[in-house]
Structure formats: C-alpha cells, structure tokens
Structure 1
Amino acid sequence: MYETIQLEIAERKATLTLNRPTAMNAMDFTMMRELADCFEALHKEQGVQVLVIKGEGKVFSAGGDVKMMASSTDFSDFGTIMGDIARLVKAYYTLPMLTIAQIHGASAGLGFSLALGSDIIVAEQSSKLAMNFIGIGLIPDGAGHFFMKERLGTAKAKQMIWEGKVLNGEEALALGLIDYNVADGAASVVVDQLVGKLLASPILAMIETKQILHGANLAQLEQILQGESAGQVKMRQTKDHLEGIQAFVEKRVPQFNGK
C-alpha cells in the first residue's frame, strides 16, 4: 500500500514504521505525502487508541532529504510539498488516539518535528536529536516552531532553533523536549510497557483531554504552518541555503554571508 512507510494495526494499537533505512529514513516527497495520507486514514480507524511511530534500521529519521533538495530547484514544487507537510502535521496533531514516538539514532529536522508532535516521546540515551534546519539556511517546518514553543516556551525555542544543537537523550530530557530517556536498545521494551499501561487505563478520558487541549491550539498551529510554508519557500531562494546544501553534500563547513 505504501512505498516508504509501513502501518500495522493489531487490536487497539497501530505501529507506523518509517521505512527508508538505506536513506536513514530521510523524508522525500513520497514519504511526506504518504505520511499525510496515512494519518488522515487513521482518523477513520475508530478502534485504534494508541499509535507508535518508529524508524526502520539504524535511526528514527534524519529529516528532510537534503540530496533531494539539492537536485530540486522548482520552488513551486516546494510550495506543493509544504502543503503535504501541513496536511501530515494537522492530521497527526488531531488524531483521536494517543501517539508515542519511539526514537533511536538520529531524529533531526523534519523527523524531529514529527517526533515532537507526539503525545509521549521515548528516546535512547545515544540518540541525536536536533532541530537543525539552520545548518542549511532554512527555518523549521513540520510545525517545528509550534512544537518547540509548546515544549520550551518562546524564548528558549528561538534559541534552540537558532543554535541547531544536537542533543542526546539525557540533554533532551533535562530540557523537557522528550519524556523518557532510556538505555540504548531499550526503547522498544519501554514503549511496549507504556502501551500496555495506556491500554489498561481509562484511555477514552485521556483522549478526550488531548482533543480539548489540542483543539484550543489549532488556530495557532494553522498560523504557524502558513508562516513556515511562506518562510521556507523564501529561504529556499537564498544564497545561504544554496551554500548550506552544497556544503552538506560536499561534507564541508558552510560559509554563510546573510544573503
């Protein structure tokens, strides 16, 4: 059914696996569209009460596919993909189920935005967690601004976004960016335990609380997604961004000049 993701539903639990392991589960146009389609379809799965998102292979997700960006100069096409990103974020944020991100390895850029949109985030100690769009002259998308602000407040969110620092599980937990920092290799076991606990709880009441709180934030989420879409198209046309992706592909330090 999907090329880049896998969805399994077993009774009241669904598991979505990002499945481009040879590309570090980087999100190309196909994966972004398939995630949006999948999350929208999950709204109709009334029996599912918990969704776990994880990555196949060595990492959760390295973020947006930078090599794809380097080869694409069609900015109208980029505007279209921002529409798919907005679609996936809104569908994910409004899911009538509890969502858990199970992170090992890298969770960066758009991959980190997706994880931060989850209700509960479990990351292994050696995870590399980064809102690192700044490294290629871009701003966060996938509602990265919204989710960072939700977790950190405006002032700290700005600083973290501007710095683009790579955090391990312990550092991310100390900041409040994740909910559980677990030993390497233990994420799946801890998530299974959490799922069991949630499914043995009065979960309908928990989902209702989620929908009330998230519903109150939807107008701001929409506004931020629109700002990210316009801003990202603008940033894609800067010399700093072109230098950033060229430096990334060439594995060198970028030389930015504010243009």
Structure 2
Amino acid sequence: MEENNYIKYAFEAGVATITLNRPDVFNSFNRQMALALQERLREIQQNEEVRAVLLTGEGKAFCAGQDLAEATAEDAMEISEIVDQHYNPIVLLLRQLEKPVVAAVNGVAAGAGANLALACDIVVAKESASFIQAFSKIGLIPDSGGTFFLPRLIGLQRASALMMTGDKVPAKEAQEMGMIYKAFPDDAFESEVKNLVQRLAQMPTKGLAYTKALLNCTFDLTLEEQLRHESTYQHRAGVTADFKEGVQAFIEKRKPNFKGN
C-alpha cells in the first residue's frame, strides 16, 4: 500500500483502493488531500489494469467534508474557489472514470463528503454510518454535485427537506429511500465490500463503462435520443472480446473469464 499524509492507495486483483487519510479530523478535505485524490483518479483512468475502484475513509468517518479550519484561515481561498478547484474536478473525474467506482461509507459522510460518495456509481455503508447535508447549518448551499445527484436519487421533496434541515440520515434509512445501494451490518461490512468490488473487477469493464456513460446522460435526453445512444454503445460493446467470451461461456454453460477488453 502506498501512503502519503492525505490518502492511502492500494492495488490488488484489478481493484484500486483509495482511502481518505486524515482520520484525526474525520477525513475532512484540505487542499493537499483534494489535489492528491484528483491526481490518483487521473492515474487510475490511464491504468488499464484497474477494473474497479473503491473509495473509503480511514478510521471512524468516511469524510466530514471541507476542513473548516483551512477554509476560514486568514489566507484562505474564497469558498467558491475551493469548490471550483477541489470538489468539482473530483466529481467530474468520478463520473468520467471509465470503471465502476464503489463508495464504501465506513462512518459519517457529511457535506461535501456525503455528496462525493453520492457521485460514485455504487454506494454502500455500514449500518452505523450516516449521511448529513450539513451545509445549511453554516449558511452555505449544498455543493459537490449534491443538488444534482440527491434529487435524482430520492426525489425533490426529500432532497429539499434534507438539505434545508441538515437532518442526519442513518444508513439503513438511506438505503430504504434509495439514496444508497445497501447498508451492511458493521461486522460484515469489510467482507461484503470486498466481495462487491472483486465481482465488479471480474466483469466486462468496457460494458460497465458504456453503461455508466449512458446513465450520465439519461436525464438530459429525450427517449429517442437515449435510444440512439443505446444503439451506439451497444455496437461498441458488441465488438469487444468480453462480449464474445460472454456468449461463448453461455453456450458452454461455464463461468465467463472477462479480461476487460
């Protein structure tokens, strides 16, 4: 495992694991951690050996959002500059990454930390974890894609209420309302997460990337336009080696051995 003061990185069996590593401040972001995460995501995009990505936090929290001590320091950047330079690039990198990204929320996910999790493809959490749109408590608006992703996940009414009140949402409730995929018992969390990401790493990577691209545009297009996009990406998927392997494995009644190409 590679480490610096801000994130940990490990790669094994096609899975790249990124761990936010400021546990003493609940993995809240400073500039160095944000830029380190951006750099690592860019590297992962270029690494064909990576077929799935896991994003989690060190210690008791997933991420408490922005480090307010940094944001309010005498020489601090404007809040909008922090958003533009730190969080918006991360959100775009997560959505543009041509591999599935799993957010494993091991503890509280608050503010930008919650919304970065929701920008991932699949979100799972410990049952003891929670999600908080904490922005209204300090007079800010939800950023890091929160106003984009949360209404699409749980509907406008619930998103409005959670963003305006700043109420804490326990993981099981987040699962029930469709905010996240699954909440796992704490003692089974690590094994369940490992099984999920390893499963994704063994799947047809290009097909998953094309699925992600279609989901990225689905709310912006008409049905006719989306059908045309599906046809385009189905053509791309249909000429991959993994498609041929999948069909052959189906015919031979065996488990496919996908290579990600």
1:132/1:217 CA distance change after superposition, 3 Å = same
Unpaired runs of 5+ residues, structure 1, are 220-259
* Aligned residue in 1 for 2:188: 186
Does residue 201 of structure 2 align to residue 199 of structure 1? yes
- 4+ aligned runs moved over 4 Å, structure 1: 72-76, 215-219
Q: Verify the 8 A CA contact 1:134 1:163 in the aligned structure 2.
A: yes
What displacement does 1:96 show? 0.4
Superposed CA offset, 1:99-147 (max 9, x none): 1111122111111111101111111111121111111111111111111
Summarize deviations over 1:162-206 as a string: whole Å, max 9, x none.
121111111111111111111113221111111232233334312
TM-score where L is the length of structure 1: 0.77
For 1:162 and 1:67, the matched residues in 2 are separated by 23
Partner in structure 2 of residue 165 of structure 1: 167
- Correspondence for 2:110 among 103, 108, 111: 108
* Higher relative contact order structure (alpha carbons within 8 Å, sequence separation ≥ 6): 1
> Map of 1:1-259 to 2, 5 A cutoff?
2-72=4-74, 74-76=76-78, 78-84=79-85, 85-215=87-217
Q: CA RMSD in A?
A: 2.1
Tell me if structure 1 keeps the 8 A contact 2:15–2:198.
no
Distance 1:198 1:159, change over 3 A: same
Distance 2:117 2:35 in 1: 17
Aligned residues: 218
Counterparts of 1:75 and 1:105 in 2: how far apart (Å)? 28
Measured after TM superposition, the shift of residue 17 of structure 1 is 0.3
Matched letter for residue 80 of structure 1: E
Q: Quick check: 131-140 or 60-69, which moved more?
A: 60-69
Larger radius of gyration: 2
Asked if 1 retains the 8 angstrom alpha-carbon contact of 2:19 and 2:58, the reply is yes
Q: In the alignment, is the contact (CA less than 8 A) between 1:94 and 1:215 conserved in 2?
A: no
1:71/1:34 CA distance change after superposition, 3 Å: same
Identity of aligned residues (%): 29
Report how far residue 29 of structure 1 moved. 1.7
Distance 2:6 2:139 in 1: 27
Q: What TM-score, normalized to structure 2?
A: 0.77
| Structure 2 unaligned blocks of 5 or more | 222-261
